[in-house]
Structure 1
């Protein structure tokens, strides 16, 4: 019985000392990725849900897709930004300039035409650029 207690005590001591919970170093940051194109229907039907495909540019091997940030700026205007995470603890990140397609689901809840503004980057003056696509809603 004494042996079991000693073995359990040693195992518990090793288990508790093997985890370093003080390492809270952040090894990534979020970034906006450039949309290249978007595939949306020619029209929507009210109260239906659609899959919207967005092709974006993955600039290097340290950048990974995380999702979409879809913001409503007006009743039927949506700004769509592709969000990625960039690993910061890598010594080297090879440039890939890879076009990748991802999608999100969108539900039509208003009977007016929707305006999608897909973020494509910034111009030489630092102004935001968007690919704008209007989609009418069928009556």
Structure 2
């Protein structure tokens, strides 16, 4: 039994070592924000309901891929604020072809508060490097 265990352990170690080897074919990437060009929200929310929020995202070249949404929460005395960014993966390749594709994806949003929600969708930075947003306010009815 001990010899069988030792053989299996040796095989497992050998496979792990081989499968973790690094080579020049590894794909390098970095995360990057993608431009949101538009979003579709209802005119009003109902408390306790879950909604699909459709978002249009600009993909400027074939090295940029959409990965996920990042939604951060903040609030004022009278509103719930959600800042939405589209997170992309930028493949580090020698050449990338321009595509200018607009893709659509969605995330689900549950209404938990009675205050109006303000959605701020990140569209990129202006010439001075300041973030710009599309802002959409949605009131909540109980």
* TM over 0.5, shorter chain: yes
Give the match for residue 21 of structure 2. 21
Give the match for residue 59 of structure 2. 58
Unaligned runs of 5+ in 2: 1-6
The size of the alignment, in residue pairs, is 129
Q: Deviations over 1:35-71 (max 9, x none)?
A: 0000001100001000000001001101111110000
Give the match for residue 3 of structure 2. none
> Cα offset for 1:21?
3.1
> Cα offset for 1:17?
6.4
Q: Deviations over 1:15-47 (max 9, x none)?
A: 566434356x77000000000000001100001
Summarize the Cα distance change of 1:18–1:116 in structure 2 as closer, same or farther, 3 Å threshold. Answer: same
TM-score, length of structure 2 as denominator length: 0.81
Give the match for residue 77 of structure 1. 81
> Cα offset for 1:114?
0.3
Give the match for residue 5 of structure 1. none
Summarize the Cα distance change of 1:137–1:14 in structure 2 as closer, same or farther, 3 Å threshold. Answer: closer
Give the match for residue 99 of structure 1. 102
Q: C-alpha separation between the residues in 1 aligned to 2:90 and 2:67? A: 10
1:127 aligns with 2:127: no
Unaligned runs of 5+ in 1: 1-7
Q: C-alpha separation between the residues in 1 aligned to 2:89 and 2:141? A: 38
TM-score, length of structure 1 as denominator length: 0.83
